[in-house]
Structure 1
Amino acid sequence: MEERWNLIVICADTFRADFLGCYGNEWIRTPNLDTFAEKSVIFKEAYAEGLPTIPARRVFFTGNRLFPKWRIVEHKGDPLGWQPGWHALEEEEITISEILQDNGYITGFITDVYHLFKPTGNFHRGFDSWEFIRGQEADPYVTGPRDTVDPARYLKTFKRERRIHPLEQYLLNVRERKKEEEYFVARVMNKACKWLSDNIGNKPFFLWVDCFDPHEPWDPPREYADMYNKGYGGVEYIVSPGFEVPNPPEHLSFAPGGSVDYYSEDEVRRIRALYAGEVTLVDKWIGRLFEKIDELGLWDNTVVVFTSDHGTLLGEKGLIHKRAYELIKPETRIPLVIWTPNGEKGEITAYVQSYDLTPTLLALLNVEKRPAMDGRNMWKLVEGEAESLHEYVITAYCSYLSIRNREWNYIVTYRTKNVPRVIGGRYLEPRLYKLDDDPQEEVNVASMYPHIVEKMERIKDRIIGTM
């Protein structure tokens, strides 16, 4: 019987594609991922379908579109449950881990993404083993003593209240961290290396490795930020501006501090350097995982994937941090690099979407996908069986929808029966960007091209009509 390939998927949260050398960045230091990409297939125009964290992973795990079917399921204890798609997997949702488990794979899941393991979460379903590394972001891991940390060092305004501030919570979680090996991405990748060593005899296997970095807090070891911004002596703004607001509103989208005007030019440069430092830190520790794959001789029988759930904004549109209503390329495009033992390599510029990943991986493993799966096999683009899969790509985030093709990006506020009110901000008039003339997507030309707006509206109505 022919040996079945193993599968390793590495997902790094909030990793902008344009912060990788293999995606054209000439100043970032990402040697490990760039070397990996040189021998792999790079999908240059991959886009997330549903945002943010939980919806994005639901799309990845199931191979299905979320929009417009997604709904709001609020749960006690999860302040983010007001977002569409931010809830536990449904009984009828079948995940890649369950499919591979049913086909004889040993399945493992290693992550520090605490949203996946809230009391309402069940994203470890279908995994034979799973490990949750506690303490990322506002994970309620450590409750005191509160006077051992000082959030005011990282914020323009801070007032200690009875309820623990999200940044205060994070600082408590990491207050005993001293060495780089104790940073979250290092711990995730070291756990993944151990899992591979322990399960080398359990073939075939599937391992999903999911690290929350480079999501904020952007607090790499100082030398990593200094690679990109030497000599800075000011405040390290390691969290998104929304954290400046005590008891923030549900969406944070219009919270004070969202604008780059809130910071000096030096501070904005430092924020970008902090993010870049996070990226380089992540690259280093993914490199350790690649070394383990090499040490165990797994390249010859293992499909290896690197991707992310979404990007973020670092000054684009005058904003810091992702925004539901600003579905422009730095936020919606994702890195997607796939290695197979057959050694295919090169660049694919056709549009692909995050829900295409699972059907593609199942096809590579010769495992039949479920008939109801929305995603398409991207490998047909690699093998020359198809020139394109999608005429346009869509990204939905709260109450906002982007419809993007080669010429235009159309962003509109939508309503459906499942999302009847505006979530994640306020109603905004439709925006249309002409990409050839305006690649930064800064000038709304909707009033100049009413026929294009009408065409995009028809596409939107057709998509919503599929509910």
Structure 2
Amino acid sequence: MNTIVICCDTLRADVVDHTWEDHVDTPHLDQLRKTSTVFNNAWGEGEPTIPMRRGFFTGMRSYPWRFHVDDRGSVPNIYGWHAIPTAQTTLAEHLLLNGVATGLVADVYHMFKPTMNFTRGFMSYDYIRGQESDRVHSGPLSSINMSPYLPDEIANPTDRPGIAQYLLNMQDRRGEEDYLAPRVFRSAARWIQDNYENQPFFLWIDSFTPHECWDPPMHFADRYFKAEGVKDYIYPQMVQNYKALTDDEIRRTKALYYGYVTFVDKWIGYLLSVLTDLELWDDTVICFVSDHGTELMDHTQFGKTADAMHPYNCRLNFWIRHPDPAYHGKTIDAYAQNIDLMPTILSIFGVESEAVDGYNLLPVMSGAQEGQRDHVITGWATTAGIRTPEWLLMLETVNADTDPRLFHSVSDPKEEHNVAAAHLEVVNQLQGKLEDLIGDSLPTTYTHQPTMEHNATFAQWAQSNLIR
């Protein structure tokens, strides 16, 4: 049996399953979902990007932040943003040692930064360059025009060097196939074709799309909303802190995200067509996951933040498409987390490993076993969220002066009303679950304290040399 994992960054589960915005077109994912087992209640464990992938790869909790490792060269360098500890064996390492051909295709540039080691265990890997602030090109600055993407007053590299870096990276783009999502999925398709004779195989495909910059071919965004004179704020966080967005700007920015989702769906469809051409569907498990979502003005803003552990940020896509029809079209409400993927895939291959924090979900999928969690805990920087079927408690774990926030998710599904003051007994009960996991009472101090030293970036150079 082969296994392919498709991981999409920043892909909201409620957009893909059409429970929030049912007009976003994802025909290829819709078809995959119909023949998958879907975990409706999957949540991130240690957020965001790097801690999540460490959990995916090792089956071990990233949170609480407990490893003191070298994180120089990493931007951002926040709690939990570090390499896989030496003592933890990765999914790819286990499989390679058991005769499985392993491959990685990714444009998630954080995985390849100095001191990172996410290529461990892969026979081959293809790092697709250019996402976001990936340091590919440093000029010429005269080749880029930032005005279509920012208010005129801040449309320069000094004020928004992150967008400048991205535009420099994209300056050679000519057609749709030069965009990053097509480059990722075309490379993955080639890997499958090249390794058809190397079965069983394991391929991890990691697409940064639809993470910011929300920059699809613009006809994908135009199908959702277009207005004369409205700019394309492809990185809205860089704008919303400068000015309030108009209604049309909000609608257009949402359209950029929706269009990016539809765009990546198209290229997932391209990959899946290769499986059809090679007649691999009966021999291949496909896992479709995401690392987190993003806010689309659900409360007050665009973009993810550590202190907003609501479903739009922390609920995951978590689907497993098994060739056995007994697993097709099933939905499971039991809690799942990203750390469950590694032991589940090992079980698919019949490979044993040392004990890990995650659970093998195959018995849950078959109905032989109930879910093993009555709550989930998510860590993100210094915030932690404790979620039960009824409640969400969010706690600042380092700063004792920050009040807890408690939401009754049943009566308040959008989690807009803090009722902590009226339910102190629930706050204390859920805080106790967190303190049991951390092994300390709050406030706490984590072993991993991010260093402030890191390699120079385009942003630092721009601030130093482009002051006008």
- The TM-score with structure 1 as length reference comes to 0.90
Q: Does 1:111 align with 2:106?
A: yes
Aligned to 1:262: 244
Q: Does 1:363 align with 2:355?
A: no
- The residue identity in structure 1 corresponding to 2:179 is Y
Contact 2:46–2:378, Cα closer than 8 Å, also in 1: yes
Bigger shift: 362-371 or 293-302?
362-371
Aligned to 2:128: 133
**C-alpha separation between the residues in 2 aligned to 1:120 and 1:162?**
28
State the 1:28 CA deviation: 1.2
State the 1:159 CA deviation: 6.2
**C-alpha separation between the residues in 2 aligned to 1:61 and 1:443?**
36
Partner residue of 1:185 out of 148, 167, 181: 181
Superposition pairs of residues 247-396 of structure 1, within 5 angstroms: 256-257=241-242, 262-343=244-325, 344-345=327-328, 346-371=330-355, 373-396=356-379
Aligned to 1:251: none
Aligned to 1:441: 415
Ranges in structure 1 where 5+ consecutive residues have no aligned partner: 245-254, 416-421
SS at match of 1:131: strand
- The residue identity in structure 1 corresponding to 2:154 is F
**C-alpha separation between the residues in 2 aligned to 1:162 and 1:235?**
20
Contact 2:227–2:252, Cα closer than 8 Å, also in 1: no
Ranges in structure 2 where 5+ consecutive residues have no aligned partner: 441-445, 447-468
SS at match of 1:428: coil
Aligned to 1:250: none
**C-alpha separation between the residues in 1 aligned to 2:431 and 2:438?**
10
Aligned to 1:78: 74
Contact 1:72–1:85, Cα closer than 8 Å, also in 2: no
**C-alpha separation between the residues in 1 aligned to 2:401 and 2:413?**
24
Aligned to 1:174: 170
Q: Does 1:151 align with 2:164?
A: no
SS at match of 2:357: coil
SS at match of 2:416: coil
CA displacement 1:90-110 (0-9 Å, x = unmatched): 111211000000110111000
Superposition pairs of residues 47-62 of structure 1, within 5 angstroms: 47-62=43-58
SS at match of 2:358: coil
State the 1:26 CA deviation: 2.2
**C-alpha separation between the residues in 1 aligned to 2:66 and 2:371?**
26
Contact 1:360–1:379, Cα closer than 8 Å, also in 2: yes
- The residue identity in structure 2 corresponding to 1:350 is A
Runs of 4+ in 1 over 6 A off after TM superposition: none
Aligned to 1:407: 390
Partner residue of 1:210 out of 206, 217, 225: 206
Contact 2:46–2:61, Cα closer than 8 Å, also in 1: yes
SS at match of 1:351: strand
Q: Does 1:34 align with 2:19?
A: no
1:53–1:302 distance in 2 versus 1, CA, 3 Å: same
Contact 2:71–2:81, Cα closer than 8 Å, also in 1: no
**C-alpha separation between the residues in 1 aligned to 2:137 and 2:311?**
37
SS at match of 2:354: coil
Partner residue of 2:95 out of 90, 97, 100: 100
1:460–1:298 distance in 2 versus 1, CA, 3 Å: same
- The residue identity in structure 1 corresponding to 2:265 is D
- May I ask how many residue pairs the two structures share in their alignment? 438
SS at match of 1:349: strand
CA displacement 1:157-198 (0-9 Å, x = unmatched): 426467981110100110121211111000100000101001
Q: Does 1:87 align with 2:82?
A: yes
- The TM-score with structure 2 as length reference comes to 0.90
Aligned to 1:10: 6
**C-alpha separation between the residues in 2 aligned to 1:369 and 1:31?**
37
Contact 1:73–1:84, Cα closer than 8 Å, also in 2: no
Contact 1:108–1:206, Cα closer than 8 Å, also in 2: yes
SS at match of 2:269: helix
**C-alpha separation between the residues in 2 aligned to 1:428 and 1:179?**
49
Aligned to 2:464: none
1:155–1:376 distance in 2 versus 1, CA, 3 Å: same
State the 1:72 CA deviation: 6.0
SS at match of 1:192: helix
Aligned to 2:443: none
